[in-house]
Amino acid sequence: MKKQRKCIFAILAFLMISGGLMLPEKIIAATKMPSFALENVRDGKIVDSSIFKGKVLLLTFFATWCGPCVEEVPTLVKLHTDMVDAGFSVIGMSVDQQGPATVAKFIEKKAINYPVFLAEAKTSNDFGGIYGIPVAFLVNKTGNVVKKYTGYVTHTVLEKDIRSLLN
C-alpha cells in the first residue's frame, strides 16, 4: 500500500511539473483582457493596450529560445497578414530576459509583421500567470478573453477560431 501511494504521488508530481495536470488558472473565458502599457521592441516606445480596442486579438506569450514558439511564428505571420484588414492583430509578448536587442534580432530574422512587446512580470500575472510557453489568448472585439491555447496550435484551429470572431 505504501508503495502504491509513493507511485501515485510520483505520477502526480510528474504530471504537474510537465504541465499534464494544470491547476486552476486565474484567467477564464469571457473575462476582460488585462490592460497593459509595454515597450514596443521595434522602437522602444511604450504602447497602451487601448490602441487595440475593437479588434480581435491573438495575444501570444513566447521566448526566442523556445522551440514551439519559433515553430509557430510562420503561422502567426500568415494569420496577421491575411486578417489584419478585417480588424485582427497578433500581439507578441516576449518573456525573454536578455532584453529588447535579442528580441529585435529575432523579429528581423523571422520577418515578424505584428507588434511585439516585452512582457513584464505584472503583465504575465495579470493574464493568470504564465507557467509555460507558448501560451496564447484569443480576445474578441469587446475586449473579452474567450479562449486560451497552451502549447503549439495549428494554423487551421487558430484561423477557424479567429474568423468566427470576425464574422
The pLDDT of residue 30: 61
As given in the structure block, the three cell numbers for residue 38 are 509595454
As given in the structure block, the three cell numbers for residue 107 are 523579429
CATH class of the region 27-166: alpha beta
Domain boundaries in the chain?
A: 27-166
What's the burial of 29, exposed, middle or buried (CB within 10 Å: 0-12/13-18/19+)?
exposed
pTM exceeds cut of 0.85: no
Quick: pLDDT tens for 4-54.
444 333 343 433 433 433 333 444 446 899 999 999 999 899 999 999 999
Residue 73 has pLDDT above 50, yes or no: yes
